[in-house]
Each structure stands twice: as structure tokens, then as C-alpha cells.
Amino acid sequence: MKSIEVDLSDCKLCDVCVAACPAVFRINDAGYIEVAELDEYPDAEVEDAIKNCPADCIRWADS
């Protein structure tokens, strides 16, 4: 199954992914990016987030 990984050690908390794909990315109470676990991801929006992440730290992963 497809999932999404964010390398938090590189994440700059710039909010770009949240703006691009709020259904998947959010900043949690601890102040880190959190990825929603969904059966189906909005591919185009996730690709937008991946493409525009300035730290290049979002990627698809097989879970």
C-alpha cells in the first residue's frame, strides 16, 4: 500500500505542503509535520507538495 514519508530532520516547517495538500499534511500539536493515513491519497496535490517542498523531504513509500 502506498504511504507518504516526511524526513522530519530536514523539514523546515515552511507550511508549503500543508497549503498544497491540507487533506494529508498538517502541523501537529508538537509542532511537526504529520501525514494523514488514508486509503486513497489525492495524488496531484501530494505531487504538488513533493515538488514544492524546499527541503525535498517528502516522498512516496511502500508500506
How many CB atoms sit inside 10 A of residue 6's CB? 19
To the nearest whole angstrom, how small is the minimum distance from the Cβ of residue 16 to ligand SF4? 4
Which listed residue (15, 22, 38, 43) binds ligand SF4 by CB under 6 A? 15
| Position among 2, 13, 22, 51 found at the interface with ligand SF4 (CB under 6 A) | 13
Number of Cβ atoms within 10 Å of the Cβ of 28: 9
Could you tell me the CA-to-CA distances from 10 to 1, 14, 27, 57 in Å, in that order?
25, 11, 15, 6
Q: Which residue in the set 4, 33, 35, 46 belongs to the binding site for ligand SF4 (CB under 6 A)?
A: 33
Question: How many residues sit in the footprint of ligand SF4 (CB under 6 A)?
Answer: 14
